[in-house]
Structure formats: C-alpha cells, structure tokens
Amino acid sequence: MATIAVPLGAQAEQQEAETLRRPALTDYLRWSVDHKIIGVQYGVAAFIFFMVGGAMAMLIRLELWTPDLDVMVSGAAYNSLFTIHGTIMIFLFIIPMWAAFGNFVVPLQLGAKDMAFPWLNAFAFWLIPPAAVVVLLGYFVSPAEAGWTSYPPLSTLFSGDGQTLWALGAHLLGISSIMGSINFIVTIFNMRPPEMTIWRMPLLCWAVLATSIIAVMATPFLAGALTLLLLDRVAGTTFFDAAGGGDVLLWQNIFWFYSHPAVYIMVLPGMGVLSEVLSVHSRKPVFGYRMVGLSSMGIAFVGFTVWAHHMFTSLQPELRIPFMITTMIIAVPTGIKMFSWLGTIWGGKIRFTSAMLFALGFLSLFVIGGISGVMLAALPFDIHVHDTYFVVSHFHFVLFGGSVFAVYAALYHWFPKVTGRMMNERLGRIHFLFTYFGFLFTFFPMHVVGMLGMPRRVAVYVEAFQPWNQLISLAAFVLGFSSLIVIYNVIKSYYHGPIAGANPWRALTLEWQTTSPPPTMNFDDDPIPFEDPYGYGTEASAAYLDAVDEAFSGAAPAKGGGH
Amino acid sequence: MAELTANQLHTAAHDDHGHMSEEEHNNNMKLGVWLYLASEIVIFSIMIVGYIIFRINEKDIVAQAHEELGVALVTANTFVLLASSFFMVMGLRAMQQGNRAGMLRWIGLTALGGIVFLGGQYIEYSELAHLGIVLGFDTASEWSTFGMRFYAPTFFHGAHVFVGVLWALEVMRRGAKGRYDNNPIGIEMFGLYWHFVDVVWIMLFTLIYLV
C-alpha cells in the first residue's frame, strides 16, 4: 500500500521512525503480546489516570481553600471525591505504572525475548480499561463515599450503588495485578540467561520479584474481602454487620492484611529504580548489592506482619505493642536501602541528569516519609495524630515523594530506550524544580496542621487552619501545573528529541545492550551480560561499554564519558 | 499496510512461544499454575477461617445444622469428586503413552464426575432451602447466621468445579485435534487445577460436614 501518496514531510518522518524501528502509534491501541508495547500501554494508561486523579486532587484543594463548604454541593460530594481520588491513584495509577516499567524493562534486563506468558500479559493489561470504566461509572451513578479503604459500615450501609461498582472494579484490577505478577515471577525465575545467576540480576528485577511475590500472596486477600463485601451489599449477607452476627473488624483485618503489603507493591519497584538510576548516573557500583536484593525480600516478608498498625484505635489493646514492634522492625530493611543509596552516590562521579535529580528527590523526600512512618508506628504518637493530616502527609511523602518521584526518574532514565530519543534535559530540570518545591510546600505543612489537630476527610474545618490550607493549596496548584511540563516534554521529545543511540547513559545492564528502541525480539544476537550489572569504574567495564558502543555504532555517540 | 504486517509478524512471533524451547515453556506453565493456585488458597482460606471462627463461637447452631444436613449425599458426592481426580490422572497417563482415544475417555469421565458433583450440590442446596437455610441474613430465621457461612465457601468451590468442567471440555476439544500428542503439558496443568479443587473440597467436607 506504499503507493498511496504520503506528504513528503510525513514520509521523511516515517523513514526516520523506521530507522528507529519504532512501532506505529496505532499499534499501541491494538491488542499486542509484545511486552514492550504492553509496557507503554500500561504507562500511558496509568499516566492518564494520574492526570484524572490529580485533577480531583486540585478540586479537593480548591474546596479546602476556605473553611466552609463552597465548591462542593455537600459533604457527601466531598467524600466521594476523595474516595475516587484515592482509588484512582492507587489502583489505576501507581500499581499499573510499575507494571509499565516492569514490563518494558525486566525482560530486557534479563536478556529475554519476551515475558514468560505473552498472551496473559496482554490480557492482564486489557482488564484495566473495563475495570476503570466500572470504577468511574460508579462515581457518576451514585458514588462510593467510604474512602479508598471502604470500611464497613460506611461501605455497606451508607454508600450508594457506586460502592458495588467500586468493589467490582477493584476486583478486576486485583485479578489483573495477580496475573501480571505471576508472569513476572515466572519470567524472573525461569528466563534468565545461563550466565546471570540470581546474584547477578539487576536490582530492579529483584524489586519486581519481591513486589510480585507480595502481589500474588496479598492481592487474593483483597479479592476475598471484596467478595464478602459484594455479598453483603448485594445478597443480603452480614459478614461485616454486627447486627447480623458479623464482624466489622473482619474487613479492617483482611483489608489491611492486603493493603499494608500493597503499599510495598506501590513503592518497592521505585526502590529498584532508584538503585539503577543512582548507580548509573554516579558511575559507581551499588553499595551492598546483596543486602539491597535481600532487603527487598525482607520487606516483602515483614510487610505481612504489620497490618494492624492501621488499626491502633480499633484493635484489642493487648495487640498494639506487638504490631508497634513489627512496624519498627520493617524500617530496618528500608534503612538498609537508604544506606546503600547514600553509599552508592558517595564519592561518585555524579551527573545531574533529570533522572538523577528525581532519584535524589526521592532520597530526600522518602526519608522524611520514612521517619514520619516510624513516628506513626509509635503508639502514643499515633493515637494523638490518628486520622489527621499528619497521616495524609506521611502517605503522600512515601507515595508521591517516593513512588511518583521514582516514576519520573524511571521515565527520564528509560525514555531513550523506549522511544530511541532523548528527553529534553532543560525541561526536565524545570519540571523537577516545580515538582520538588510544589510537593514540599504541599505536603510538609500538612505535618503541622495534622499535629495541630486538623482531621482528614472533612470539607469544613476550623478557621484557624485557613492560612495553612491556603499555602498548601497554592503549592498543590504548582505541583499540578508541573505535570503539564513533563507531558509537553514527552510529546516534544518523542518527535524531536536527539537520537539516543543504544546506550546513552553508558549503563551495564542488558536493556542497554540493544538498539533503542529494541527490535521485535529484543536482541538481534544473544546478549552477553557483564560479570557485574553495576561494575562501573573498572577498566573491564569501560572496555565492555566501548565494545557495545562499537557494535551499535553510527547510532551511539559516546557522550558523557566516564566509566 | 507495511506497519500492519510488521505488527502481525510481531504478534505471531511472540504468540507462538517461538522464543522458547518446549522444556522452558513447560516449566513456565507449571510454575505459573502453581503460583495461581497459591493465590487461590488465600481466597479460600478467608472463607474457611471465617467458618472456623463461626464454628467455635456458635457450637449449637452448627450441631443443629449437622443433624439437618446429613452426610449421605455429600459423602457420595465427595467420592465422585475423588474418583474424578483418579480419572484425571489416568487421562494424563493415557496421553503420555500416546493413547489419544483413551485420554479423551478418561478426561470425559473427569468432566462427568464434576457434573455429577454439581448436580449433587444442587440437590443439597434445594433441600437446605426448603429447611429455610438461605444465604441472606434474616432475623426471623434461627439459621440466619449459618447460611452465609455455609453457602459462601461451598458455592465458591462449586464455581471452581464448574470452571474445571469447562476446562476439561476444552482439554478434550484440543486433545481431539492432536494438540497434546507431543506435549501433554496442557493436560497436566488442568490436572493441577483439578487436584487443587479436590483438595479444597476435602478440607471443606471435613470442616463443615464432619467436625
């Protein structure tokens, strides 16, 4: 069909795209079993949901500009707004977003041609759009008002039919997540090249492995809880209704037995990204590689023993202390990672690329979120700030300051591999500044209003908190604006960015030892992993990288130097 | 057109597992099914633990339920399900010996066992419904709290048997076309699932009907 006349500009564009071996944009709208296409599908879909959830956050901040109810028609409308905000951000943005990077990068890092189950992979992705429709439909029918945690009796007796749709949608997303995770585990265990022992596996793969183990073992708890919730709502059972011989706390226990491990589903891949980015961009081996890999597993394991710290105010008092202790213990593997990251960049030849800036942003913000986490683990303090903005601040520090910053770091780091073109670094730095300071001034003051006693999940508050809330709202609008910069950067760079070449960062992991973007089956020849995925700074690694540049020469100007 | 062809080639290349050896493919499939079953265990365990807690707290209702339920029908049903697991193993063995017709017979019997089990469950549910044991909560009924804890796990299990029957029929359809002549992994995977459903039933039978 090449005979159809194409405008010359478009033809040139097409030719260039062919030299880059990029899939056509329409390929991303079709069913495809190629993990690279699926990764981008996950990423774009998740980012769209991020924007939708972000727009809702803007509305929330607009409502909180004044102490009175003015933007929303009722308190109930506000309830449903923060419910859908949380649901979108967690189930539709951050979990699928990590599936995006996992899908694109993990098989490449393993030197594999695809995931273990390509068809299942595509199926898991295509469950997300219908699930999103169901959840969002619920919001417009008669919205769920019980928060993303959906505690009964709020979610059984007081929420509208939207809650039923919410539960159905969450069910579908859970199934999608389980299928995706099974795929990751099998891929990581079975599809490594013979030279790559588990102790030579890149740390992102370790993190995705730990994440997937958590997802396979924890998400079914959500599925079970949602099944019972649906029965309560639809079939008249009373599993969660004390008046009918049920138990309200049963939901909290099952839900958090899923959802606490799930917070590590949301952040562990980000920690894996950080180990990659910090090591590559500071040209140094990861400090304590084995301990970092093991600490991911440690977090996965200990993560199952801390769930009731979400229930300090509803739990039997004698169980509080044990859960306080386990919660403190889980800070240890996280601390190991922190220590490793600092040790990695210490004395390194740091290149302040956008990816590196976001990784450093993660470091500085996540440590605050980690510390407020340990504060919340301390029972006396928790009871004081329970259900206040201090808690809101804490989980945004770990989920936004942690996960989202890692998402951005990963975006700037792997965008050249995905599209064959570099992102605009200048715009990247501007984006970083807006995001970092927008974030800091949005969420740090929340610690203060929280300790002063402002409760979360209310649209109306005491007038004394207004100056704080106005500061927070202003900063939140800046934060919201910052995401427009990255959208512009992505679109602009996709078409006009400089050609990246195979290995623009001179990284040692296998995803860089092929063209950008990689060919259909990922590698034209079987790649040979370097003996140490992070062995930067040795002559052997420099020779290896030079050989890679040579093999893909013409497309790979060796920039940035360093080895 | 060119791009479409590329996409199709792409899909074909990835779909055929052309990138994997048969052994690799089989290993992946088995590990995948085991992980899937691990997640199933979790869902069942929620309902099972829910029942155990109820059993401990409400001894009287459960004792009364045992009298009403009777074990004759359900024992026969359990026997049928266990037998179907045996048929399943025989089907796999037949295929491994290259006996396609034998495989089809045995897997057919497996599916039949599942259907008989579901029929038995249907009869039991109707009897219980006549006694007033229903799923929803009803303040007027002395069974109000028992019904949901009984029906949720047993129906959830029944749904798995139903899926298993469909899977068995699919295995037969593919098997008849010779899909498993060289590599019976598909039958083996179905077998793992079917045995799992069986083991769950043994737990439910013991917990709900016997103790």
pLDDT at B6 over 60: no
Q: Are B180 and B186 within 8 A, CB to CB?
A: yes
* Higher pLDDT, residue B70 or A440: A440
Q: Determine the Cα–Cα distance for residues B65 and B78; give it in Å rounded to an integer.
A: 19
Interface mutation vs chain A, best among B15, B137, B149, B155, most A CBs within 10 Å? B137
* pLDDT interval class at B5 (50, 70, 90): very low
B148 at interface of A, judged by CB pairs closer than 8 A: yes
Q: Which of B28, B43, B135 sits opposite A223 (nearest CB)?
A: B43
Contact A220 B10 (CB under 8 A): no
Q: Which of A2, A31, A178 sits opposite B2 (nearest CB)?
A: A2
Give me the pLDDT at residue B2, please.
42
* pLDDT interval class at B61 (50, 70, 90): confident
pLDDT tens string A264-284:
999 999 999 999 999 999 999
Structure tokens at A127: 């469950």
Q: Which of A116, A182, A237 sits opposite B136 (nearest CB)?
A: A237
Residues 459-478 of A with CB under 8 A from B: none
Residues 1-20 of A with CB under 8 A from B: 1-2
How many Å separate Cα A140 from the centre of its chain?
26
Taking contacts as CB-CB distances below 8 angstroms, the residues of chain A near B11 are 31-34
* Higher pLDDT, residue B141 or B31: B31
Mean pLDDT of B25-41: 94
Domain extents for chain A? 32-551
- Among A229, A386, A238, A214, smallest CA distance to A309 is for A386
State which residues form the domain around B205.
71-211
Structure tokens at A495: 């078409």
Taking contacts as CB-CB distances below 8 angstroms, the residues of chain A near B2 are 1-2
Q: Are A233 and A164 within 8 A, CB to CB?
A: yes
Q: Determine the Cα–Cα distance for residues A247 and A227; give it in Å rounded to an integer.
A: 15
B210 at interface of A, judged by CB pairs closer than 8 A: no
**C-alpha distances in Å from residue A329, one per residue of A208, A250, A336:** 22, 25, 12
Q: Which residues pair with A499 in a beta bridge?
A: A421
Q: For A549, left (φ over 0), alpha (ψ -120 to 50), or beta?
A: alpha
Q: Are A209 and A188 within 8 A, CB to CB?
A: yes
The ipTM of this complex is 0.88
* pLDDT interval class at B131 (50, 70, 90): confident
Identify the closest residue of chain B to A247 by CA–CA distance. Answer: B50
Q: Determine the Cα–Cα distance for residues A363 and A274; give it in Å rounded to an integer.
A: 9
Identify the closest residue of chain A to B36 by CA–CA distance. Answer: A182
Q: Determine the Cα–Cα distance for residues A412 and A16; give it in Å rounded to an integer.
A: 22
Give me the pLDDT at residue B66, please.
84
Please tell me the number of Cα atoms within 13 Å of A540 on its side-chain side.
7
Q: Determine the Cα–Cα distance for residues A37 and A56; give it in Å rounded to an integer.
A: 29
Label residues A280-308 b or e (16+ Cβ within 10 Å = b): bbbbbbbbbbebbbebbebbbebbbbbbb
Low-confidence ranges of chain A (pLDDT < 70): 1-19, 554-563
Contact A236 B136 (CB under 8 A): yes
Tell me how crowded residue A132 is: count the other CB atoms within 10 A of its CB.
21
Q: Which of A181, A217, A520 sits opposite B10 (nearest CB)?
A: A520
Q: Which CATH number fits domain A32-551: 3.40.190.10, 2.60.40.2140, 1.20.210.10, 3.40.640.10?
A: 1.20.210.10
Q: Is the previous residue joined to A322 through a cis bond, with omega within 30 degrees of 0?
A: no
pLDDT at B129 over 90: no
Check which CATH number belongs to the domain holding B87 and give it.
1.20.120.80
- Among A522, A529, A523, A527, smallest CA distance to A508 is for A529
Indicate whether B60 belongs to any domain. Answer: no
B39 at interface of A, judged by CB pairs closer than 8 A: yes
Give me the pLDDT at residue A12, please.
54
Number of domains in chain B: 1
Residues 27-66 of A with CB under 8 A from B: 27, 30-34
Give me the pLDDT at residue A3, please.
41
